[in-house]
Amino acid sequence: MPTETIIIFAITGLLVGFSKGGLGGPVPVALTAPLLSLVLPVSQAVGVVLPLLMFADLFALYFYWRTWDVRYTKLLLPGAIVGIVIGTLLLASLSNVVLKQVIGAFTLIAVIYKLTNDRLKGLQYVPRPWHGVLAGWATGFGSSLANVGAPPFTAYMLLQPNMSPVNFMGTATLFFAIVNALKLPGFLTAGVLDLPLLLSILWVLPIIPFGVWLGRYIVLRMNPKLFEWIMLVGMIFMGIYLLFG
């Protein structure tokens, strides 16, 4: 494996750990597919991140055990399953060039959302059950196609009344752990998860808990907003590169 590929996989493991450790929220994960697509076909870049996310989910579930609100998970899951199926089919069927453009567009959309999501809390909003189904679909679709399912989920959850930060993190942890598990059979069947490649990068797994610890360490000592801006700038450059490069 070339040195630059090893470095990119190591950085990917750190980014997954950072996200699960609470540093930068979903932003580090959204950067993994664009980063890996520099050295892998896009479908494989998305697929190989899935086992890393599932491994990291174990740590997140431990940290946020039973702090979730199951009502929202049940409401979001039916739409998410439909989104996962559609996203996986597209991931397996689109050309590498088209997928790069799609990943680039999704990456820039995630940046735009991150820059505007604080305004959601001030909106006058009346919850409807179908809103959860639609948000679940968008989350499953974005997660399967580009590992960017967090923006629609976060937007929906921020609009819910009496949603505490702990409940939000717990619900997000449970929901995305289930979504990632549901993605696995489709990824294996569609061939976007390459088992030989996965076996060759098992050495990345120990980096993830280190990234979780390092993320929590940095959160206590570094301005989280500064870190988010660093990640967002990286996403902007990667998104533009994939979309127009």
**Domain ranges, ordered by start, for the chain:** 3-244
Sign of the torsion formed by the C-alpha atoms of 16, 155, 174 and 165: positive
What token pair was written down for 49? 């991140």
pLDDT digits (tens, 9 = 90+) for 186-213: 999 999 998 899 999 999 999 999 988 8
Residue 242's contacts (CB-CB under 8 Å, 6 or more residues apart) are 34, 37, 100, 101, 103, 104, 107
Residue 134's CB is within 10 A of a number of other CB atoms, namely 16
Q: Which amino acid is at 106?
A: F
pLDDT digits (tens, 9 = 90+) for 231-242: 778 778 878 888
pTM for the predicted model, two decimal places: 0.84
Alpha carbons 140 and 120: distance in angstroms, whole number: 21
Sign of the torsion formed by the C-alpha atoms of 10, 172, 65 and 185: negative
pLDDT at 120 over 90: no
What token pair was written down for 2? 């070339």
pLDDT of residue 29: 85
pLDDT digits (tens, 9 = 90+) for 145-190: 888 888 888 878 877 877 787 888 889 899 999 999 999 999 999 9
The residue with tokens 């937007």 is: 155
**Alpha-carbon radius of gyration of the chain:** 17
Of 95, 89, 76, 19, residue with least CA distance to 53:
19
